[in-house]
Amino acid sequence: MNRRHALTRLAGAAAVAAVPGALLAQADKAITIVVPYAPGGTTDMLGRMLAREMEPLLGRTLVVENKPGAGSGIGAMQVARAPADGLTLLVATSTTLAINPSLYRKLPYDPARDFAPIGMIGAVPLVAVVHPSVPVQDIAGLVALAKARPDSLSYGSAGNGSPHHLGMEMFKAATGIALTHVSYKGSSPAVTDLLGGQIQVMFSDIPPALQHVRAGKLRALAVTSTKRQPALPEIPAIAESGVPGTRDFRAVAWQSLVAPAGTPRELIDKYAAALQQVMSRRELRARLASDGFEAETMGPDQLAAYIRSEAERWGQVIRTAGATVD
């Protein structure tokens, strides 16, 4: 162990010692970060990155536990029911906290009541891509084509209620166009059918679309963030396209870190400080940006307000689309 690492661990141990006495018995136990998705995806990658980077800052062992299923509901329920002792955290996504409350008639957890926000990790913008046979070069051209030929274009998504689906429904509502939704069990089969021309357009995660865009097998029209992305610097944001109704358009999937409700504020603030320190590192932010991920910093109170606003915004999209999964 080098001197810097040793000093960091000593600082973490000192911070633990400052926690109220009722929690001192937990100080030597590992912290579990629950990822409510299967291994290998963006959320899993972020959870493992946080465990690795926050461990020396906290002076504690952090382990990742994958609990996929029910649109992140199984993992969320586990954390909602866990003791509020700071030993169980959740990588909660926009689906977990902002989409599911309107998408499901019954949830095994209450996003507003059952969790204590710690901080934002970041957001995953999408990219609008079309099959090369679609005669458009930009997002304005797609809107014009869709208005000239209503319901003649089909768009794919990773499933009913996914960010890909709801983001496109938000875009349809903003522009007044009509497209036919084709739901898939995951984004990979949707991209496969887009490559084959069975569907014409989709909002895709940037990483899986990037190789096909560069190979000329798909055409990128715009990204769904409010600014251009380093992974696709030549592709404009929908918000800068000049298409009426899209000036403030933003449809991203985001990830945050939360704890069970009732977790002592001293621990929430300690975890939030470590998270913000990690997500503020310039080299880490640049590495994530190259993969199409926007690192963000947002403290507990700011995140709580953001979750409320996002739940309202996505709820309106879901009600307009009539989307449901049960």
Which domains are seen in the chain, by residue range? 3-124+253-321 (3.40.190.150), 125-240 (3.40.190.10)
Q: Detail the DSSP E strand segments found in the chain.
A: 31-35, 62-66, 88-93, 115-130, 154-157, 180-183, 201-205, 219-223, 252-260, 294-295
Nearest-angstrom CA–CA distance, 114 and 257:
13
Nearest Cα to Cα of residue 143 among 180, 175, 181:
175
Nearest-angstrom CA–CA distance, 176 and 153:
14
Q: Which of 114-123, 162-171, 181-190 has the lowest mean pLDDT?
A: 181-190
Average predicted confidence (pLDDT) for the chain? 90
pLDDT, tens only, 168-204: 999 999 999 999 999 988 888 999 999 999 999 999 9
Q: Which of 40-44, 137-141, 186-190, 208-212 has the highest mean pLDDT?
A: 137-141
Nearest-angstrom CA–CA distance, 18 and 167:
44
Per-residue confidence (pLDDT) for residue 61, from 0 to 100: 95
> What's the whole-model pTM score?
0.84
> Which two three-digit tokens encode residue 235?
């592709």
CB 160 within 8 A of CB 71: no
Of 53 and 160, the one with more pLDDT: 53
Provide the 10 A C-beta neighbour count for residue 226: 16
Nearest-angstrom CA–CA distance, 294 and 108:
30
